[in-house]
Amino acid sequence: MPDALLTDRQTWMATLAKAPPARLAALLPDPPTHMVLRQPEIGAVMVRGRVGATGAAFNLGEMTVTRASVRLATGEVGHAWVQGRDKGHALRAAAVDALMQTDRAADLAAQVLQPLASAAASARAGRAAKAAGTKVDFFTMVRGEDK
Amino acid sequence: MYVAVKGGERAIDNAHQWLAEERRGDPAVPELTIPQIREQMRLAVNRVMAEGSLYDPDLAALAIKQARGDLIEAVFLIRAYRTTLPRLAGSLPVDTGAMAVDRRISATFKDLPGGQVLGPTFDYTHRLLDFALMAEGATQDAPPRVGEANPMEGETRVPHVASFLNRDGLIETADASDTPPPDLTREPMELPADRALRLQALTRGDEGFVLSMAYSTQRGYGRTHAFVGELRIGTVAVEVDIPELGFAVEIGEIELTECETVNQFKGSKTEPPQFTRGYGLVMGQSERKAIAMSLVDRALRWQELGEDFTGAPAQDEEFVLMHCDNIQATGFLEHIKLPHYVDFQAELELVRKLRSEAQAMQEAAE
C-alpha cells in the first residue's frame, strides 16, 4: 500500500507492530492505567504470496502474532496486532493506540512514535546503503576488433 | 500392527536424561544461547522456519538447540508447536515489488533498472576454510556506497524483471486474483492440485528433495530451459485486515527470497511461442530453495501449457507433492524402528510354514 494512502492510525499501528519490544518498553516504561478488553492472545497469521508475484494468492506459511485490546479510563479503545509472541509488546502497543486518540497524541507521537519511526528508517537506510555498496559497476573490456 | 507393551518407562526416562546431557556436550564449553543461534546460525534458522512453515526466528533457534542441530527434528518441533496456535487471520498477499532488497540479481538482463545488487552472498567466495573464524576475531562492517548517489534511494518499488519482458508481450502474464487459496494445513491435499496448492507444498517442502527434483529437470528429466530472470532477497511488510477496525494494518516484516525463472517455450497446441515462468518464494534467505522451487513449479505446469508428459519424476505432481514433506517422510520412515513384534512374529510363522511345505514337496518328489 503506498504511504500516501495510509491513514495516521494505520501508520502508527504499523510503527508499533514493527518496533523492537524492548525499545518500546524503554520509551513507554509506565503505560497509562487501562482496562484490558482482550487479554494478549498469541496466535498465527497465514502469510500469503502471489503466484509469479502478481497472480493468484497462495499460502506461504504462518507467522506468530500477538493481539490485545485495552480501554483507557477516559473510554478510548486501543487495539494491537504485533509480530511475535511478546504479550507486553501487544499491551503497550494497544495502550499507545488508545492514547493516540486522546489529547496526549502530540506528546506521544514525539516521545514514542517518532523515535521508533526514525530508528526503523535509519536501520532500513543503513541496509540499503550496504546493499548499494554491493552493486556491480559493469565496464566493457576493450574488444579485439577495436584495436 | 502395534501392540501396547509395558516395561520401558525407566529406560525411556534415563534415555531422555542422557539425551539432555549429550545435548549440552562438554560443560567446560559455554552453553549456546538462543540469540547466538538466531544471529549466527541464521541460514539454519531460515530453513527451519521455511520448512516448519512458521516465521519466528526465536522459536526456530530454540528448536535447533533442542534438536541438537538436527534440522529436520527442529522442523518437526516447529510443526508441532504451530498446531497449538489459533489461526487469527490470513494476510493480504505480500507485495514483493515493494521489497526492501538486500540482494537482487538477474541472469537475463545485465543492465536492469536498479542494477545487479549482490548482497551478502557466498557466490564468488573461494570456498576455502577460513581459519581466522576459529580465532574468534571481530569482523569488519560492510562498506556502504559512498560518493555517487545510491540509485535505489527514494525508490519504494523495485520492478520485477518479468514486467520488462511483458511490455513486448514476450512472456506469459500472471493476473491477480484474490480467491482465497486452498490450504493444505486445513484440508488434506487433493490431486490434481492447482498451482497455488503446489506452491504451498513446495515452499514448505524439504530443501534437499526440491533441489534434487530441480536438478533432475536440468539433467534432462523434464527439461524446462530455465534462466534465472530474477532473484531477490529482502524484507516485506505483512498486512492483515483487522476485523475490529475494518481496515488493514501492517503487523510486521518478514524476510523472503523470491526467484522467477524465464523459460524458453516453443509454443504448443494451446499457447503461442513466448517465454513462460516458474516461481519460487521462500521464507528467509533461502536462495537454493527458491531457485529449485521455481524450476519444479515450471516442470509441474506441463499440462496447463500443453506440453508432453515425458514420464519425468519432476513432472509427476503426485510423486513430487506427496514426497516433498520431510516431516511426513520422516514420520513414516522412522516408525518402522518402533516395536513391530507381532507383525514380525506373523512373518516368521509364514516363512516357517512355506519352508516346511517346500521341504515336504521336495521330499515327495524324491
Residue that the C-alpha cell 514433506 belongs to: B325
* Among B88, B118, B150, beta carbon nearest to A128: B150
Q: Please choose, from the candidates B79, B73, B36, the residue with its C-alpha nearest in 3D space to the C-alpha of residue B58.
A: B36
Nearest-by-CA chain A residue for B276? A52
Question: What is the distance in angstroms between the Cα of B314 and the nearest Cα belonging to chain A?
Answer: 19
Assess A71–B contact: CB distance below 8 Å, yes or no. no
The residue extents of the domains of chain A are 3-39+67-126
- Name the range with the highest mean pLDDT among A99-108, B119-128, B248-257, B268-277: B248-257
- Tens digits of residue pLDDT in B209-265: 999 999 999 999 998 889 999 999 999 999 999 988 999 999 999 999 999 999 987
Judging contacts by C-beta atoms under 8 Å, the chain B residues touching residue A62 are 53-55, 82, 85, 87
Sign (positive/negative) of CA torsion B45, B46, B52, B53?
positive
d(CA B35, CA B31): 12
> DSSP for B289-343?
HHHHHHHHHHHTTTTTTT------GGG-HHHHHHH--HHHHHHHHHHTTS--HHH
Which triple of cell numbers denotes residue B34? Answer: 538462543
The verdict on a CB contact (< 8 Å) between A42 and B85 is: yes
**SS3 state at B197:** helix
The residue extents of the domains of chain B are 9-82, 96-119+154-173+182-329
pLDDT value for A114: 96
Run of H or E including B6: none
More confident residue, B258 or B268: B258
d(CA A121, CA A25): 19
pLDDT value for A2: 45
Judging contacts by C-beta atoms under 8 Å, the chain B residues touching residue A10 are 247-250
- Tens digits of residue pLDDT in B179-188: 889 999 999 9
pLDDT value for B5: 65
Run of H or E including B319: helix B317-323
pLDDT value for A1: 43
What region, left, alpha or beta, does residue B226 occupy, with left being phi > 0 and alpha being psi -120 to 50 degrees?
A: beta
Q: Using alpha carbons only, what angle is made at residue B40 by residues B34 and B46, rounded to the nearest 5 degrees?
A: 80
* pLDDT-wise least confident of A12-21, B89-98, B148-157, B346-355: B148-157
Residue that the C-alpha cell 493444505 belongs to: B184
- Tens digits of residue pLDDT in A4-18: 556 899 999 999 999
